[in-house]
Amino acid sequence: MLNAYMLHDGEPVDGAVLVFAPSFGEAKKIGYRTVRSWTDCEYIDIKGRRIWNDAWLKQHAADQKKLAAGEPHVIDNPPTCKGCELWHDELEDSGYCESCAEEREEAA
C-alpha cells in the first residue's frame, strides 16, 4: 500500500514534492532527485512527513495506474488551492481549500 508523503529541503511553503511510496525512506529515495533539481540540496537535507488523510490526494493527484499497481512515484505539480497555492489539503469544487473558501465567503 502506498502512502502520501510531502518532501522538501527547508520550508514546505517554499516548494515541496508529493510522493506516493510504502515508507518514508522509499519516498525520500525517489523524491530526492526532484527536490534537488529545484534547489541543488544534498540528500541529508531532505525533510518530510507522511500525509495521513491522503484519500483526496490519491484520487486527484496520484498517477492512477501506478497507484493501482503499487508503484512508488513522484508528483511534482499536484493540484493547488487557487487562494493559498498549497496542496496539502483537499480542494473544494471551486478550487479552493476549506480555509480559503471560508475567507472568500466572509469577504463576500
> What is the average pLDDT across 20-42?
95
DSSP string, 38-105: HH---GGG-EEEEES--HHHHHHTS-HHHHHHT--EEESS----TTT---SSPBPTTS-BHHHHHHHH
pLDDT for 108 beyond 80: no
Residue-wise pLDDT tens digits, 96-107 = 999 999 999 888
**Residue 92 pLDDT grade (very low, low, confident, very high; cuts 50, 70, 90):** very high
pLDDT for 39 beyond 90: no
Q: What is the pLDDT of residue 47?
A: 95
pLDDT for 2 beyond 90: yes
> What is the average pLDDT across 45-53?
95
Q: What is the pLDDT of residue 12?
A: 86
